[in-house]
Amino acid sequence: MRMRPTLSWTPTEDPQPGSTDPEPVAEALSAGGVLVLSGAGISTESGIPDYRGEGGSLRRHTPMTYQEFTASARARRRYWARSHLGWRTFGRARPNAGHRAVTAFGRHGLLSGVITQNVDGLHQAAGSEDVVELHGSLDRVVCLSCGASGSRRDLARRLEEVNAGFEPVAARLNPDGDADLTDEQVGDFRVVPCAQCGGVLKPDVVFFGETVPPRRVERCRELVDGATSLLVLGSSLTVMSGLRFVRQAAQAGKPVLIVNRDPTRGDRHAVTRLTLPLGTALTDLAARLDVPVDA
């Protein structure tokens, strides 16, 4: 889901080849003022799949759009059935070495902020503070009628109550927190309304076809303005919602460093793209900079 306007990207004329030398990233970190922008790649080691990486599911899985969700009760039932199932797995996911290293860099005063495109809450679970969740969080739900915000945990409890015996085996879990189910499996899953007004509940995440709230974008722009450099962790920067901050940093002459195995849309703006696995790479960088990381 989330705003992912289609933008055709042809790899740059001068593609960033990828590097295994961590030195440029180490230098940027030791200079401080680093703004982290993280994507799905940092959570794969926590068992949360990536749409676009190896085994990525984008080709097989079409995320629901905002328009579809709001227009159709049937679509919402399908969404919530799948999401309810996926939540059980997401709820069990734990931060990995990559998240812990980011937290350690923050505590060590090397970061000016953390923006994440992920909706899994794992940076916060690792202890990072003031994380800007660009695409929202699966942890919360909002009412489309009265705007009331509630906890996903409470909603999950209500859904369990009215769907006793709903135990289908999902084919696959997707990064936005839902599982693949057939129409038959969705069956007569029951959706619950807003407890305040009876309105339609939506996860507090930005769907495909939906824009990131302007105030949140503004906050991120300010973070880029205040940063010394931008460090992209585990994102292919396929969507404009993240790529625009890379462009902003590059236009301001700030170094952009990327740690991502595969080429990204931001490579042409980057000083380097480190291709090492994130957990290992960040743990090694922390050791190199004498930054203690919680076990």
Task: Using CB under 5 A, list all residues that contact Zn ion.
Answer: 143, 145-146, 148, 194, 196-197, 199
Query: For Zn ion, which is the closer residue by CB, 76 or 123?
Result: 76
Q: Are 221 and 245 in contact (CB under 8 A)?
A: yes
- At closest approach, how far in Å is the CB of 66 from Zn ion? 18
- At closest approach, how far in Å is the CB of 144 from Zn ion? 8
Query: For Zn ion, which is the closer residue by CB, 86 or 136?
Result: 136
- At closest approach, how far in Å is the CB of 63 from Zn ion? 24
Q: Are 33 and 106 in contact (CB under 8 A)?
A: no
Q: What is the DSSP string of 82-126?
A: HHHHHHHHHHH----HHHHHHHHHHHTT-EEEEEE--SS-HHHHT
Query: For Zn ion, which is the closer residue by CB, 89 or 145?
Result: 145
- At closest approach, how far in Å is the CB of 156 from Zn ion? 18
Catalytic (active site) residue 269: no
Query: For Zn ion, which is the closer residue by CB, 91 or 199?
Result: 199
Identity of the residue numbered 10: T
Q: Would you state the structure tokens that stand for residue 118, as one six-digit string?
A: 């992920």
- Environment class of 229 (CB within 10 Å of its CB; exposed 0-12, middle 13-18, buried 19+): buried
Of the residues 84, 123, 135, 269, which is catalytic?
A: 135
Show the CA angle centred on residue 216, arms to residues 80 and 50, nearest 5°.
Answer: 50
Active site residues: 135
